[in-house]
A and B are shown apart, each in its own frame.
Chain A
Amino acid sequence: DQQVKQNSPSLSVQEGRISILNCDYTNSMFDYFLWYKKYPAEGPTFLISISSIKDKNEDGRFTVFLNKSAKHLSLHIVPSQPGDSAVYFCAAIPSNFGNEKLTFGTGTRLTIIP
Protein backbone atom coordinates (compact mmCIF):
# COMPACT_ATOMS: atom_id res chain seq x y z
CA ASP A 1 0.00 0.00 0.00
CA GLN A 2 2.29 2.75 -1.26
CA GLN A 3 0.18 5.85 -0.85
CA VAL A 4 3.30 8.01 -0.72
CA LYS A 5 6.10 7.18 -3.10
CA GLN A 6 9.62 8.43 -3.46
CA ASN A 7 10.88 6.81 -6.62
CA SER A 8 14.52 7.83 -6.29
CA PRO A 9 16.21 5.85 -3.52
CA SER A 10 19.33 7.98 -3.84
CA LEU A 11 20.57 11.26 -5.26
CA SER A 12 24.04 12.81 -5.48
CA VAL A 13 24.49 16.54 -5.93
CA GLN A 14 27.53 18.78 -6.08
CA GLU A 15 27.93 21.19 -3.18
CA GLY A 16 26.46 24.59 -4.03
CA ARG A 17 24.07 23.21 -6.64
CA ILE A 18 20.34 22.65 -6.28
CA SER A 19 19.00 19.38 -4.86
CA ILE A 20 15.53 18.38 -5.99
CA LEU A 21 13.78 15.55 -4.19
CA ASN A 22 10.49 14.26 -5.52
CA CYS A 23 7.45 12.64 -3.98
CA ASP A 24 4.20 11.34 -5.45
CA TYR A 25 1.02 10.40 -3.64
CA THR A 26 -2.12 8.57 -4.59
CA ASN A 27 -4.57 9.33 -1.80
CA SER A 28 -6.64 12.41 -2.68
CA MET A 29 -7.62 12.73 1.00
CA PHE A 30 -4.13 13.97 1.85
CA ASP A 31 -4.21 17.69 2.51
CA TYR A 32 -0.99 18.35 4.39
CA PHE A 33 2.51 17.35 3.42
CA LEU A 34 5.75 17.38 5.33
CA TRP A 35 9.41 16.74 4.63
CA TYR A 36 11.61 15.15 7.25
CA LYS A 37 15.35 14.69 7.26
CA LYS A 38 16.98 11.75 8.98
CA TYR A 39 20.57 11.10 9.94
CA PRO A 40 21.70 7.57 10.87
CA ALA A 41 20.82 6.59 14.46
CA GLU A 42 18.60 9.65 14.87
CA GLY A 43 14.90 10.28 14.59
CA PRO A 44 13.29 12.15 11.69
CA THR A 45 13.71 15.91 11.98
CA PHE A 46 10.99 18.17 10.63
CA LEU A 47 12.13 20.38 7.75
CA ILE A 48 9.21 22.07 6.07
CA SER A 49 5.53 21.51 5.37
CA ILE A 50 2.82 22.65 3.02
CA SER A 51 -0.94 22.71 3.13
CA SER A 52 -2.91 21.65 0.07
CA ILE A 53 -4.32 25.15 -0.24
CA LYS A 54 -0.87 26.39 -1.23
CA ASP A 55 1.44 25.49 -4.06
CA LYS A 56 4.69 26.71 -2.56
CA ASN A 57 6.25 27.20 0.83
CA GLU A 58 9.72 28.53 1.43
CA ASP A 59 11.98 28.49 4.48
CA GLY A 60 15.52 29.65 3.96
CA ARG A 61 17.30 27.26 1.63
CA PHE A 62 14.32 24.89 1.53
CA THR A 63 11.30 25.25 -0.74
CA VAL A 64 8.50 22.78 -1.13
CA PHE A 65 6.32 22.82 -4.24
CA LEU A 66 2.95 21.11 -4.45
CA ASN A 67 1.15 20.19 -7.67
CA LYS A 68 -2.23 18.90 -6.56
CA SER A 69 -3.48 17.96 -9.99
CA ALA A 70 -0.42 15.77 -10.53
CA LYS A 71 -0.39 14.60 -6.90
CA HIS A 72 3.26 15.50 -6.79
CA LEU A 73 5.46 17.48 -4.47
CA SER A 74 9.11 18.33 -4.50
CA LEU A 75 11.67 19.68 -2.10
CA HIS A 76 14.30 22.07 -3.41
CA ILE A 77 17.45 22.74 -1.45
CA VAL A 78 19.60 25.57 -2.70
CA PRO A 79 22.48 25.89 -2.31
CA SER A 80 23.19 22.33 -1.20
CA GLN A 81 25.66 21.93 1.64
CA PRO A 82 27.59 18.87 2.90
CA GLY A 83 25.48 18.87 6.08
CA ASP A 84 22.41 18.23 3.93
CA SER A 85 23.60 14.68 3.30
CA ALA A 86 20.90 12.54 4.91
CA VAL A 87 17.80 10.52 4.09
CA TYR A 88 14.80 12.68 3.24
CA PHE A 89 11.27 11.44 3.84
CA CYS A 90 8.14 12.87 2.38
CA ALA A 91 5.05 12.39 4.58
CA ALA A 92 1.37 13.18 4.27
CA ILE A 93 -1.62 13.63 6.55
CA PRO A 94 -5.22 13.13 5.43
CA SER A 95 -8.03 15.59 5.88
CA ASN A 96 -10.51 13.27 7.52
CA PHE A 97 -10.94 13.89 11.21
CA GLY A 98 -9.83 11.02 13.40
CA ASN A 99 -7.23 9.79 10.93
CA GLU A 100 -4.32 12.17 11.25
CA LYS A 101 -1.42 9.76 11.21
CA LEU A 102 1.61 10.45 9.09
CA THR A 103 2.08 8.25 6.04
CA PHE A 104 5.71 8.21 5.02
CA GLY A 105 7.42 7.58 1.72
CA THR A 106 10.37 5.20 1.51
CA GLY A 107 12.94 7.98 1.58
CA THR A 108 15.65 9.35 -0.70
CA ARG A 109 19.29 9.27 0.39
CA LEU A 110 20.85 12.58 -0.57
CA THR A 111 24.63 12.81 -0.82
CA ILE A 112 26.23 16.19 -1.26
CA ILE A 113 29.61 15.95 -2.96
CA PRO A 114 32.11 18.56 -1.74
Chain B
Amino acid sequence: EPEVTQTPSHQVTQMGQEVILRCVPISNHLYFYWYRQILGQKVEFLVSFYNNEISEKSEIFDDQFSVERPDGSNFTLKIRSTKLEDSAMYFCASSETRTGKTNYGYTFGSGTRLTVV
Protein backbone atom coordinates (compact mmCIF):
# COMPACT_ATOMS: atom_id res chain seq x y z
CA GLU B 1 0.00 0.00 0.00
CA PRO B 2 1.42 3.42 -0.92
CA GLU B 3 2.52 5.52 2.02
CA VAL B 4 3.75 8.96 2.93
CA THR B 5 7.29 8.84 4.30
CA GLN B 6 8.68 11.37 6.75
CA THR B 7 12.25 11.89 7.91
CA PRO B 8 13.66 12.16 10.47
CA SER B 9 11.35 10.47 12.93
CA HIS B 10 12.77 12.55 15.76
CA GLN B 11 14.69 15.81 15.63
CA VAL B 12 16.17 17.65 18.58
CA THR B 13 17.30 21.20 17.97
CA GLN B 14 18.41 24.19 19.95
CA MET B 15 16.18 27.22 20.15
CA GLY B 16 16.93 29.65 17.35
CA GLN B 17 18.24 27.01 14.99
CA GLU B 18 16.76 26.20 11.60
CA VAL B 19 15.19 22.82 10.97
CA ILE B 20 13.98 21.15 7.81
CA LEU B 21 11.45 18.37 8.03
CA ARG B 22 11.20 16.12 5.01
CA CYS B 23 8.34 14.24 3.44
CA VAL B 24 7.92 12.04 0.41
CA PRO B 25 4.23 12.09 -0.53
CA ILE B 26 2.48 9.34 -2.48
CA SER B 27 3.73 9.56 -6.05
CA ASN B 28 0.47 10.24 -7.88
CA HIS B 29 -0.84 12.71 -5.30
CA LEU B 30 -0.91 16.37 -6.21
CA TYR B 31 -1.96 18.06 -2.97
CA PHE B 32 0.31 18.24 0.03
CA TYR B 33 -0.18 19.35 3.60
CA TRP B 34 1.55 19.88 6.89
CA TYR B 35 -0.25 19.44 10.18
CA ARG B 36 1.12 19.46 13.69
CA GLN B 37 0.08 18.16 17.08
CA ILE B 38 1.43 19.70 20.24
CA LEU B 39 1.49 17.15 23.04
CA GLY B 40 -1.98 16.72 24.52
CA GLN B 41 -3.65 18.94 21.96
CA LYS B 42 -5.54 18.42 18.73
CA VAL B 43 -4.02 17.96 15.30
CA GLU B 44 -3.86 21.41 13.66
CA PHE B 45 -3.60 22.44 10.04
CA LEU B 46 -0.51 24.41 9.04
CA VAL B 47 -0.40 24.69 5.27
CA SER B 48 -1.59 23.19 2.00
CA PHE B 49 0.44 23.18 -1.20
CA TYR B 50 -0.46 22.57 -4.80
CA ASN B 51 1.16 23.27 -8.13
CA ASN B 52 4.29 24.60 -6.44
CA GLU B 53 2.55 27.18 -4.38
CA ILE B 54 0.78 27.55 -1.08
CA SER B 55 -2.99 27.13 -1.41
CA GLU B 56 -3.91 27.96 2.13
CA LYS B 57 -2.14 28.53 5.43
CA SER B 58 -3.21 28.90 9.02
CA GLU B 59 -2.30 31.71 11.39
CA ILE B 60 0.25 29.35 12.96
CA PHE B 61 2.16 29.37 9.67
CA ASP B 62 3.93 32.69 10.08
CA ASP B 63 7.07 34.06 8.43
CA GLN B 64 9.23 31.59 10.33
CA PHE B 65 7.72 28.74 8.33
CA SER B 66 8.18 27.90 4.68
CA VAL B 67 7.44 24.94 2.45
CA GLU B 68 9.08 23.77 -0.71
CA ARG B 69 8.93 20.99 -3.23
CA PRO B 70 12.57 21.05 -4.30
CA ASP B 71 12.26 18.15 -6.72
CA GLY B 72 9.59 15.83 -8.03
CA SER B 73 9.35 13.75 -4.90
CA ASN B 74 10.22 15.65 -1.72
CA PHE B 75 8.07 18.12 0.17
CA THR B 76 9.77 20.03 2.98
CA LEU B 77 8.78 22.20 5.90
CA LYS B 78 11.40 24.66 7.12
CA ILE B 79 11.29 26.48 10.43
CA ARG B 80 13.82 29.31 10.26
CA SER B 81 14.40 30.09 13.91
CA THR B 82 12.83 27.51 16.18
CA LYS B 83 11.09 28.43 19.41
CA LEU B 84 10.30 26.23 22.39
CA GLU B 85 6.63 26.29 21.45
CA ASP B 86 7.41 24.73 18.06
CA SER B 87 7.98 21.43 19.87
CA ALA B 88 5.34 19.10 18.44
CA MET B 89 4.69 16.15 16.15
CA TYR B 90 4.65 17.34 12.56
CA PHE B 91 2.63 15.32 10.10
CA CYS B 92 2.85 15.49 6.36
CA ALA B 93 -0.18 14.40 4.34
CA SER B 94 -1.02 14.07 0.69
CA SER B 95 -4.17 13.68 -1.34
CA GLU B 96 -5.05 12.75 -4.87
CA THR B 97 -7.87 15.28 -4.95
CA ARG B 98 -8.07 18.86 -3.80
CA THR B 99 -10.74 18.29 -1.24
CA GLY B 100 -9.81 14.88 0.15
CA LYS B 101 -13.52 14.09 0.00
CA THR B 102 -12.97 10.57 -1.20
CA ASN B 103 -13.39 7.10 0.19
CA TYR B 104 -9.82 7.22 1.49
CA GLY B 105 -9.34 10.79 2.70
CA TYR B 106 -5.88 12.20 3.15
CA THR B 107 -2.92 9.90 3.73
CA PHE B 108 -0.70 10.92 6.62
CA GLY B 109 2.92 10.08 7.30
CA SER B 110 4.15 8.74 10.64
CA GLY B 111 5.31 12.16 11.73
CA THR B 112 8.48 13.86 12.91
CA ARG B 113 8.75 14.60 16.59
CA LEU B 114 10.45 17.97 16.89
CA THR B 115 11.91 18.84 20.27
CA VAL B 116 13.26 22.35 20.72
CA VAL B 117 15.55 22.76 23.73
Chain A residues within CB distance 8 Å of chain B: 31-32, 34, 36, 41-46, 49, 51, 89, 91, 93, 98-107
Q: B115 interface residue, CB < 8 Å from A?
A: no
The secondary-structure label for the interface of chain B is loop
Given the complex, which residues of A lie within 8 Å of B35, measured CB to CB? 102
Select B111's contact among A31, A42, A51, A98, beta carbons within 8 Å. A42
Residue of A nearest to B108 (CB): A43
The answer to whether B45 touches A103, judged by C-beta atoms less than 8 angstroms apart, is yes
Given A32-B101, A100-B48, A101-B33, answer yes or no on A44-B108 (Cβ-Cβ < 8 Å): yes
Compute how far the CA of A56 lies from the CA of B113 in the bound complex, rounded to whole angstroms.
36
The answer to whether A44 touches B43, judged by C-beta atoms less than 8 angstroms apart, is yes
The answer to whether A100 touches B108, judged by C-beta atoms less than 8 angstroms apart, is no
The answer to whether B106 touches A102, judged by C-beta atoms less than 8 angstroms apart, is yes
Select A100's contact among B41, B98, B107, beta carbons within 8 Å. B98
Given the complex, which residues of A lie within 8 Å of B6, measured CB to CB? 43
Chain B residues within CB distance 8 Å of chain A: 4, 6, 9, 33, 35, 41-45, 48, 55-56, 58, 91, 93, 98-111, 113
Given the complex, which residues of A lie within 8 Å of B43, measured CB to CB? 44, 89, 91, 102, 104
Give the interface centre of A43, A98, A102 by most chain B CB atoms within 10 Å. Answer: A43
Given the complex, which residues of B lie within 8 Å of A99, measured CB to CB? 56
Given the complex, which residues of A lie within 8 Å of B33, measured CB to CB? 101
Give the interface centre of B35, B103, B105, B111 by most chain A CB atoms within 10 Å. Answer: B105
Select B91's contact among A43, A51, A93, A107, beta carbons within 8 Å. A43
Closest 10 CB pairs of A and B: A43-B108, A46-B105, A101-B45, A104-B43, A32-B101, A100-B99, A106-B42, A43-B110, A44-B108, A34-B105
Compute how far the CA of A80 lies from the CA of B103 in the bound complex, rounded to whole angstroms.
22
Residue of A nearest to B111 (CB): A43
